Chain A
């Protein structure tokens, strides 16, 4: 690339353009109040997870049978559960588990799906047919039930639950990446890169996958809400995190026995799940309005 005498200048211009793009993006984002609320909820969740030891008032694992089923009070802000453990502290510590499951599922399912879809779309032919058939099979099966059967076969636990959710969560990413790859694969600039000697692998990694990122981010945000609900459902059934871990779904399931007399044991963790999942959905909605190219054209 000796044609360009001064490489520093265009780079600086590129960086300036990116910063400007980001600023307009942020400005448009902050104009949407619902999206800001969603973002705030998620930030609070992350802060809770980081500072769980600081802001919790009790040990989340230490039973104290004297305070069994205590009602919400100045000492136990959200009451105490059937072993006298402070629900507020368990809730705060449970945010770590929630984030852990979400992170585990996202970092596995999105790359797998992206790779399968991008390879299928770029190579085409029988590889495309086989990969997409497999994707369709996974899309056609009932997700929660598949995850349920999978965890019950593997044995309960957080990692197995995350694995099972991954198994059902990757196909939409494959669909997304394939659609994008089909558009990109014969475009002029990709052909130019190909002529310059880039391998198909290089094209997939540096030209196809980056094109999918904005739709993938939107999809991920919505997915996180779904993952939280599925993980909580598995925990509720008893297939997710095992006691004494303060997983929110499992907390609801222990509180279920006391729902009529000590309603706070089951309802408060559920409210936490609801709020966090709502936060991800609100953020996803706002991001989609900003990033979706179809909607962007309309505005």
Chain B
């Protein structure tokens, strides 16, 4: 009984933390929306309007109320899913976001897969051959990934692999004559085209996608391999590794079976965090590859000074961030019995 109560309190305080973070996020976007140097009333009525009209519009927008009332209005609207209207597309921002989000998610997910599949073995190898040449090579690859401006690498990638070599297709999600052929079901072009059996479109989408995916994957690979290396270094210096070796376990068994299994728990957090980073990092890549995702949406909204859309996008990615953080926290607790004990 007592344990159940404690578990409830634990979950409750944890939900409170998540709620507080989301509240803080909303407060931030609200604050940013308020510091606009542009007067939203003037942008509607124009600067020649009479004072009477100005005041009427201001009160219609709720701008004459005290600031906390405005914030409360903003919050209740958000909870109802009302992110405001986008000025440039004149649709509700949330509708727009949900339309563009799957494409971003598709790109980021594929990038993450590349990052994990390559990054974790690289990190393990780097830790195993610590201070030997594989370590140096992998560290330099990681450092380059950390230091390179991703939008520049995307441009160079387009120049080399699309223009010079012609190995991949150019910007955009599909070739022009394929656009609009596939009915959007999930919004992710690979899944949609596969469901509808349009394999030529599927292949075309892959040739468009491969370069941005690899670039985004490289970006996350740098982070993942570096973190894997440091976690594995710590594990490999533990005494259980020595014990396993003394018992006569093969090196492969020692590294993969013992050390990596223990390293897996912190790595879950690393992967979750880098997924969040990818969603954000894809903003710049999407603008280069004209990828119809959130990043491109935010980018084009910036130019039409469409703050509802910009803040809505920020908020959405922020919420996904918070969810990912929380999820990795939960997974950490589920996977690591020690943290469960400590929590009680």
Contacts and interface: CB of A to CB of B under 8 A. Distances in A.
B12 interface: no
B28 A145 contact: no
A15 to B, nearest CB: 36
Nearest to A248: B149
Interface string B130-172: 0000000000000110111101110110110001000000000
B307 interface: yes
Given A145-B283, A146-B28, A266-B155, A153 B143 contact: no
Nearest to B310: A149
Contacts of A136: 17, 21, 24
Contacts of B35: 153-154
Interface residues of B, number: 50
B149 A277 contact: yes
Interface string A140-156: 11111110111011110
Contacts of B284: 144, 233, 236-237
A233 B158 CA distance: 18
A136 B20 CA distance: 10
A142 B314 contact: yes
Grouping DSSP codes into helix (H, G, I), strand (E, B) and loop, the B interface class, with mixed when no group exceeds half, is helix
Contacts, number: 140
Given A133-B24, A137-B28, A149-B32, A237 B147 contact: no
A236 B147 CA distance: 16
A229 interface: yes
Interface in A256-299: 256, 259-260, 263, 266-267, 270-271, 273-274, 277-278, 280-282, 285, 298
A234 to B, nearest CB: 10
Interface string B225-253: 00000000000010000000000000000
A229 B318 contact: no
A139 B20 CA distance: 13
Nearest to B27: A137
B321 interface: yes
B147 A274 contact: yes
B325 A140 contact: yes
A165 interface: no
Nearest to A274: B148
A264 to B, nearest CB: 11
A149 B163 contact: no
Contact of A140 (B25, B144, B156): B25
Interface string A34-51: 000000000000000000
Given A153-B307, A252-B152, A148 B314 contact: yes
Nearest to A279: B147
B184 interface: no
B322 interface: yes
A225 B147 contact: yes
A249 interface: yes
Contact residues of A: prevailing secondary structure: helix
B149 A249 contact: yes
Nearest to B306: A152
Contacts of B36: 153
B313 interface: yes
A281 B149 contact: no
Contact of A153 (B33, B163, B288, B325): B33
B310 A144 contact: no
Given A225-B146, A273-B149, A149 B314 contact: yes
B298 interface: yes
A232 interface: yes
A141 B32 contact: no
Interface in A117-141: 133-134, 136-138, 140-141
B282 to A, nearest CB: 10
25 contacts: A137-B24, A140-B325, A141-B28, A142-B276, A144-B283, A144-B284, A148-B283, A148-B298, A149-B32, A149-B310, A152-B307, A152-B310, A154-B35, A229-B149, A236-B284, A237-B299, A238-B302, A238-B303, A239-B302, A252-B151, A259-B159, A259-B163, A270-B156, A277-B146, A285-B143
Given A137-B28, A142-B280, A252-B155, 13 more contacts: A137-B20, A140-B322, A142-B317, A143-B280, A145-B314, A146-B314, A146-B318, A149-B32, A154-B35, A239-B302, A252-B152, A267-B155, A271-B152
